[in-house]
């Protein structure tokens, strides 16, 4: 169960990194649960090697802490692993925004079961 989530996360992160490349960003800030997979040394090393971006992980211990970090650090995080149950609250607070897949040059390369726009939109 954990590996498909990790694969989906790494795929999503790679998509975001492609979008960020156009902005000449040097870091990708990730807000996630500790131990969820994105902080594994091999995952960070592979991502950094493949993209040239440095991964800066920040962690939360509860969904409320995650929302507080988003509120107190607007615009800092590039990737947020948010529970779907909190999407509406985060959207209403303008803490997250929908993904505009038209800006992702490699969107077509993502497996269809991982790339559904309907699933990506709150």
Question: How does residue 121 score in pLDDT terms, banded at 50, 70 and 90?
Answer: very low
Instruction: Tell me whether residue 11 is exposed, middle or buried, using C-beta atoms within 10 angstroms of its C-beta: 0 to 12, 13 to 18, 19 or more.
Output: middle
pTM: 0.67
| 40, pLDDT greater than 80 | yes
Asked if residue 67 lies in contact with residue 92, where contact means CB atoms within 8 angstroms, the answer is: no
Residue range 47-74, pLDDT digits in tens: 999 989 999 999 999 999 999 999 999 9
Residue spans of the domains in the chain: they are: 11-105
The alpha-helical segments, DSSP class H, found in the chain are 2-21, 41-51, 63-72, 87-92, 117-120
Instruction: Tell me whether residue 51 is exposed, middle or buried, using C-beta atoms within 10 angstroms of its C-beta: 0 to 12, 13 to 18, 19 or more.
Output: middle
- CATH 3.40.190.10 assigned to domain 11-105? The reply is yes
């Amino acid at each position: 169960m954990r590996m498909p989530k990790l694969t989906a996360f790494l795929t999503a992160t790679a998509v975001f990194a492609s979008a960020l490349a156009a902005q000449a960003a040097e870091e990708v800030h990730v807000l996630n649960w500790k131990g969820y997979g994105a902080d594994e040394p091999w995952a960070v090393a592979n991502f950094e090697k493949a993209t040239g971006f440095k991964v800066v992980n920040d962690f939360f211990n509860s969904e409320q802490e995650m929302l507080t970090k988003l509120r107190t650090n607007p615009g800092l995080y590039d990737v947020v692993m948010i529970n779907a149950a909190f999407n509406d609250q985060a959207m209403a607070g303008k803490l997250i925004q929908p993904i505009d897949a038209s800006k992702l040059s490699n969107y077509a390369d993502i497996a269809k079961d991982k790339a559904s726009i309907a699933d990506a939109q709150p």
